[in-house]
Amino acid sequence: MSTVNMRPSLASFSAAGPAAATTTAAVSARNFKPCANCTCSYGQLSRQGRRSSALLRQINFSRKHSHLGNLPLSTTNESVYSSDSICQIKSTETAKRLLALRKQMAAHDLCCYIIPSEDEHQSEYVSQADERRAFISGFTGSAGVACVTRDLLNFNTDKPEGKAVLSTDGRYFNQASQELDPNWTLIRQGEDPVTWLQWSINEAHEMSLALGGKTAKIGIDPRLISFDQVKTFEKLIKDKNEGTDAKVEFVAISENLVDMIWSNFETIPVRDLNELLHLQLTYSGKCFNSKRELVMQYLSEKHNGATHLVVFALDEICWLLNLRGSDIEYNPVFFAYLVLSNDETILFTDNPFDEKIEEYLEQSNVKVEPYHNIWSSLSDKAVTLAEKKETILIPSNSSWEIVRKLNGSTVKRIQSPIEIMKAVKNETEIQNAHSAQIKDAVALVQYFSWLEDQLVNQEKLIDEYKAAQKLTEIRKTAKHYMGNSFATISSTGANAAIIHYSPPQENSSMIDPTKIYLCDSGSQFLEGTTDITRTLHFTKPSKEEINNYTLVLKGNLALERLVVPEGTSGFNIDVIARQFLWQAGLDYKHGTGHGVGSFLNVHEGPIGIGSKPHYGNFPLQKGNIITNEPGFYKDGEYGIRIENDLLVKEAEGLQFGKRKFLKFENLTMVPYCRKLINTSLLTHEEISQINEYHARIWSSVVPFLQPSSISFKWLKKETKPL
């Protein structure tokens, strides 16, 4: 287990699109330039180089040269970081880590070990102590799975050999190809012919057959994988084994093998456990007891009187209790589990809290126990409920370990009602969201006007990282600013084509005013969470850049204008944002939208706009806040993305039978880039839509600007009618 430190502290996935990645073999052929005497991985450098978030302060709180079976090698002209922006890893570094891991795998009789990105709460963004996949592979993106094999035919116990693959989605193909060393092979989700599950099973199957049917075990930490994924894994294994002499098993390894070797290479990061913050009704809009009553009523009505629920998702616990934390950078959450029943609420956490929160929890009849007591408590509850023949409900994405601890009791896996309730904002949260958007718009207008003035008028040299720091400094001046909602994507030229690019602190690329600049950023305010992307050009863009920006903008506008009947999901409307790009033979490799929390996680489920079938299970509802972010990325040259936060509202006066209709309201108050708009590609309706939007921005933001300021002049210029 990780040591505890008691101190203060896109929307995604494999939309269809053309292949655009290189293999690690191609990457290794590049002229890597490690810094002097460097033996660190980029993942390590990234972790060590992070600065504390403002949220923290405000709250005070090998691969052997083989391929993926028959995967073809392919290369293309990719976008790259500037030549000196990353301290490139030496291949011997991950080789040593992989060697140490394989020795642990041998001790546990494993032929394959899986290292997911998630922590035990299935969090998308994790604490440094949970960045096991980044440690072992060097890849620092937020999504991906690492799979490492140990060749059972190699009997050299001092130097076991094997393969290593990293699977990730289209947002990170370019980044992964940069960060992985030659010990690793990249599996591109949605493009390569095998998934990481199939690859792992195929490798184990071949080894078992080669050893005359000896059992080949694939292992994983059961806290880090959902039980749903385990069932999928086991079915694939069964299908693969059928009709053969091979024996492949998927096994739980309670000791995390990466944790066991981590200290041999780095100081093991510790989990921050920071002081909690009570979110008052002024911001939450509904008290804990009211929320709890709704949850328990839902369980009783929908699940035959069930009265027991395990809650493990950190943002769900925060929303239900009206508490916030700062244990994970950019995410106002804290490490905890929660168990609800008719007669008690038990919060499992080690985080400190003051006397006021202690009194609040006592008045709310919330019992607090140590974080790790959750496991013994679940085991005890399993026995008690089995005797009473009562059912315990767990979210459908609960970890394998939760299911294992409840063994013997009647367990029913359900869609978490808290996740669905949380995604529907109440009137207070909606009003606060408007306030948060105005605050962030003022900051972004000040930032973009400053940046243009510095680059063009003052002819200053400003790098991507320092520019992002300037934006943070401006945001800090806003009341109730609690930090950024994610690491700012400040990217110039080719770097803008890297979908989830983050500028390095050292030797960051200089912003080139003759090239496109993409800024994707967001804030955490007590009032709410923002996520905004604007693509700018400070001098004279090319005709191609203008036309492609306009196609992206047309898709964004079309989605915003959309009116849909109740019951429509984000899966049904993704094509609306892509249609104009598709007509030109273009596309983008990420989803079109994701839910946004209310002073919570910037990526909030279960809703989303994209091609993932999962989104089809969750229709949009009045009160949802969801992003609208189509884009286009030309590898090696530029990237375009336009992202707004939309509120789902009722379309009054429209009804077909008993079915009402929904529409969108654009909450974001930052203008589009006039230089990049080709009005000849726009319809009269689209021009009117942009002009009305810019007029609304002007009236909303200008009261907060000094008339003589460059921000005032910039906003006036950018919101002038087309």
Q: What is the CATH number of the domain that holds 571?
A: 3.90.230.10
The reported pLDDT for the residue numbered 416 is 96
H-helix or E-strand spanning residue 576: helix 570-583
H-helix or E-strand spanning residue 427: helix 427-452
Show the CA angle centred on residue 79, arms to residues 76 and 85, nearest 5°. Answer: 135
Taking CA atoms, 21 is separated from 506, 555, 582, 588, in Å, by 26, 25, 20, 13
Query: Residue 113 domain-assigned?
Result: yes
Give yes or no: residues 636 and 555 share one domain.
yes
Query: Residue 7 domain-assigned?
Result: no
Give yes or no: residues 392 and 494 share one domain.
no
Over the range 577-616, which residues count as b (16 or more CB within 10 Å of their CB) and which as e?
Answer: bbebbeeeebbbbbbbbbbbbbbbbbbbbbbbbbbbeebe
Query: Residue 183 domain-assigned?
Result: yes
Give yes or no: residues 440 and 463 share one domain.
yes
Quick: pLDDT tens for 384-433: 999 999 999 999 999 999 999 999 899 999 999 999 999 999 999 999 99
Query: Number of folded domains in the chain?
Result: 3
What are the residue ranges in the chain where pLDDT is below 50? Answer: 1-92
Taking CA atoms, 117 is separated from 191, 260, 340, 521, 622, in Å, by 20, 17, 28, 22, 32
Rounded-to-integer distance, Cα 513 and Cα 269, Å? 39
Domain boundary (240, 271, 302) is at 271
Query: Residue 576 domain-assigned?
Result: yes
Nearest to 471 by CA among 511, 499, 498, 431: 511
| Terminal CA-CA length for the chain | 59
Query: Residue 204 domain-assigned?
Result: yes
Quick: pLDDT tens for 58-73: 333 333 333 444 443 3
Give yes or no: residues 674 and 534 share one domain.
yes
- Which CATH number belongs to the domain containing residue 144 in this structure? 3.40.350.10
Give yes or no: residues 36 and 58 share one domain.
yes
Nearest to 251 by CA among 404, 394, 413, 56: 404
The reported pLDDT for the residue numbered 155 is 83
Rounded-to-integer distance, Cα 666 and Cα 82, Å? 35
The reported pLDDT for the residue numbered 93 is 80
Question: Which amino acid would we find at residue 91?
Answer: S
Query: Residue 8 domain-assigned?
Result: no
SS (H, E, C) 210-259: HCCCCEEEEEECCCCCEHHHHHHHHHHHHHHHCCCCCEEEEEECCCCHHH
Give yes or no: residues 528 and 665 share one domain.
yes
State the burial class of residue 707 (Cβ atoms within 10 Å of its Cβ: 0-12, 13-18, 19+): exposed
Rounded-to-integer distance, Cα 413 and Cα 642, Å? 38
Q: At a CB cut-off of 8 Å and minimum separation 6, what does 620 contact?
A: 564, 568, 569, 570, 607, 626, 648, 662
Query: Residue 134 domain-assigned?
Result: yes
What does the radius of gyration of the chain's CA atoms come to, in whole angstroms? 26
As given in the structure block, the two tokens for residue 602 are 């910037």
Rounded-to-integer distance, Cα 672 and Cα 665, Å? 16
Give yes or no: residues 101 and 135 share one domain.
yes
Nearest to 562 by CA among 705, 697, 665: 665
The reported pLDDT for the residue numbered 270 is 92
Domain boundary (238, 271, 304) is at 271
Angle, nearest 10°, between helix axes 464-476 and 427-452?
Answer: 130
Domain boundary (361, 387, 422) is at 422
The reported pLDDT for the residue numbered 516 is 98
Query: Residue 322 domain-assigned?
Result: yes
Give yes or no: residues 388 and 443 share one domain.
no
State the burial class of residue 187 (Cβ atoms within 10 Å of its Cβ: 0-12, 13-18, 19+): buried
175 and 21 Cβ atoms separated by less than 8 Å: no
Give yes or no: residues 169 and 248 share one domain.
yes
Give yes or no: residues 236 and 331 share one domain.
no
H-helix or E-strand spanning residue 518: strand 517-521
The reported pLDDT for the residue numbered 279 is 98
Which residue segment(s) compose the domain that 348 sits in? 277-422
Give yes or no: residues 584 and 483 share one domain.
yes
Give yes or no: residues 556 and 478 share one domain.
yes
